[in-house]
Structure 1
Amino acid sequence: MSNTSNIVVFSLSGFSATANYKITLFSLTLLCYCLTVVVNVSLILTIILDQNLHEPMYVFVCSLCINGLYGSIGFYPKFVFDILSQIQVISYVGCLLQVFVIYSNSKIDYSILVLMAYDRYVAICRPLEYHSVMSVRRTAVLMGLSWLVPLCCEAMISTVTSTLTLCGFKIDKLYCENWSIVKLACGSTRASDIFGLVVVSFYCSHFFLIACSYVQLVKTALKSREGKRKFTQTCVPHLLCLFNVTAALLFDVMYSRYGSASMPQSVKNFMAVQFLIIPPIINPIIYGLILTKIRNKIIYLCVMAGQRFKLRVKV
């Protein structure tokens, strides 16, 4: 296959290690997908339906959950279908679309985490200015940018990748990934490499922005008991989610760029999918359990649902 015009489908060779336990993997995958949908939808509805939770911090949490569902749609349906299929292939266009959804999802995650760090910085370090700084209009603008910028970045990456001349069709993964497509290129990948480096640097700067905000947060929080309380209640879940997403993405980057060919395929598969499975499940659970307002509202809704069920049973 000498060029992109001849590439009709890609073969996903990562499924070679799953042949002996398809049913088990299918059941676990379906369970994870259902759990992802349930925990994210529950948190989204809780925040939308409760007027007391219509604050910037909870709006950002809601956006994080929506993004979790968005990323899951790009991975789970195709993955579940491939588990039960005899041949795992994906069309050229479908591959680029999957790359776009999965990796724009991870970029949106990080953008939202930056906004949440900024929100906590203003709330704890500049409490008197909080409502003027984090106004409804500014929150809406920041929220829009946290989605628009990553989507545009990933659209440009996908466009550059689509111009590459390819000489292969075998992707050594369970799903499509940009670096895996680039490795199939026959000619120069300089433009793709440079653009990828710029985007990676841009999102690395997100981490440093979060780190700088937390230096100020810790300094301010240690000065008063109220500051310590706010930090513990609202910043700890953010730090846990940040660690969760960062560790998962580093796993994927290290595997994609420096993964050893001698590594067992099952280990490669786990490293490849954990950033798509773990954060969308863990993030809403962390916020649902630690943030007092959300936890109390969920408990209240569960109690009310239980009481209604008992009344219906008695009737």
Structure 2
Amino acid sequence: MENGTYYYLMLFDNIGYIRYTFFSLGIIVYCAIILFNAFIILAIFLERTLHLPMYILIACLSFNSLFGTAAFFPRLLTDLMSDTHWVSREACLLQAFFIYSYASNENTILMLMAFDRYVAICKPLQYNNIMTPRNLSVLIAISWIYPMLCVGIAGILNARLTMCGNKLWKVYCHNWEIVKLSCSNTIINNVFGFFVVTTTLIMPLSFILYSYVKILIICTKSSPEFRSKAYQTCIPHIVILLNFSIAIFCEVTLSRFVTLDFPIGLSIILSLEFLIVPPILNPLVYGFHFPEIRKKIICIIKASK
């Protein structure tokens, strides 16, 4: 293979017969992700009483999970059963685009969920005027288009680099690993990468933190009944946020700061957490916690029998 035209995914080397175990687990996990998130989307789509901003954003989160895992699992399962693990540069950049678009979209959707709860709890009288269907549609469109535009530009910058190596120490195509293989000047890539991280990760997380602090302050000054209702709608979002934030922190830390001396098995598990755990955990948390969604899912299951 011509150097710089194909990449080789090194972590699939010498895994022996354990590949069949990983393949079986991968099939089970991917099917579970598709099933759980499809139920959430169908329940919210079919039940008119759930056509509210909070539930629509939950459906967006499930759709984003399907979007991101579709770029990861089929390729992973193919590589597990293949004897060759070469991937073309174009296909690699495309996979990186979809995976990091998923991660960025997840963060901006969580920011919109925090904003929705902030308005509902801190400005209840203005909620219907702020969270109109039109405003919600615009916010959702921006939360998808902007991260994907940023990740797309980063991919174009990476595609312009001259490669002096082709060995990727990952089980998927990773933007930073691709940049590290370059023998070109990568200052533009690094600066733009920092800009993308700031605007799609740090700024949304800062706004989310601000929103929940304001909510907490309001709750401490309110009646026990109001406080209980507020906590009931916010806790699932906080659980999802903490889980995703920890997963992203692990991925960023491993890719930027951890050397090859780090145990390979643990490195793989931690780096894949953001692609596996949130897509499974999100629908379970929302499906079990919100009775409206749970009842509709049960109705769908019964109707399908």
* Shared fold (TM-score, shorter chain, > 0.5): yes
Give SS of 1:43's match: helix
**1:6 Cα deviation from its structure 2 partner:** 5.2
Q: How does 1:239-278 map to 2 (within 5 A)?
A: 239-278=238-277
* Counterpart for residue 206 of structure 2: 208
Q: Which residue of 1 aligns with 2:130?
A: 133
Distance of 1:43 and 1:116 partners within structure 2: 16
Deviations 1:35-76 (A, max 9, x none): 000000000000000000000000000000000000011000
Which residue identity lines up with residue 159 of structure 1 in the other structure?
I
Local SS of the residue matching 1:19: coil
**1:273 offset after TM fit, Å?**
1.4
Unaligned runs of 5+ in 2: none
Q: Does the 8 Å contact 1:174/1:272 carry over to 2? A: no
Residues in 2 aligned to 1:130 and 1:137: alpha-carbon distance in whole angstroms: 13
Aligned twin of 2:13: 16
Maintained 8 Å contact 1:124/1:230: no
Normalised TM-score (structure 1): 0.93
2:107 pairs with 1:110: yes
1:197-217 residue CA offsets vs partner (Å, 9 max, x unmatched): 111122201111001111110
Percent of aligned pairs sharing the same letter: 38
Q: Distance in 2 between matches of 1:136 and 1:224?
A: 30
1:224 aligns with 2:223: yes
Indicate which of 25, 30, 35 corresponds to 1:28. Answer: 25
**Would you say the 8 A contact 2:4–2:162 is kept in 1?**
no
CA displacement, residues 202-246 of structure 1 (integer Å, 9 cap, x when unaligned): 220111100111111011122123431232221000001101111
Aligned 8 A contact 1:39 1:281 in 2: yes
Instruction: Say if 2:3 and 2:166, in contact at 8 Å, map to a contact too.
Output: no
Distance in 1, matches of 2:284 and 2:14, equals: 31
* C-alpha distance in 1 between matches for 2:137 and 2:226: 26
Q: CA RMSD in A?
A: 1.5
Residue 29 of structure 1: CA displacement? 0.3
Q: Name the counterpart of 2:76.
A: 79
What's the CA shift string for 1:284-313, capped at 9, x where partnerless? Answer: 1111111232123223444x44xx84xxxx
**AA aligned opposite 1:128:** L
> Any idea what SS the aligned residue of 2:162 has?
coil
> TM-score if structure 2 supplies the norm length?
0.96
Alpha carbons 1:100, 1:158 under 8 Å: kept? yes
The superposition leaves residues 3-24 of structure 1 with CA deviations (integer Å, 9 ceiling, x where unpaired) of: xx95221000011263240110
SS in 1 for 2:140: helix
Name stretches of at least 5 consecutive residues in structure 1 with no aligned partner: 310-315
Distance 2:239 2:15 in 1: 32
- In structure 2, give the amino acid aligned to 1:123: A
- How many correspondences in the alignment? 303
Question: What secondary structure does 1:10 align onto?
Answer: strand
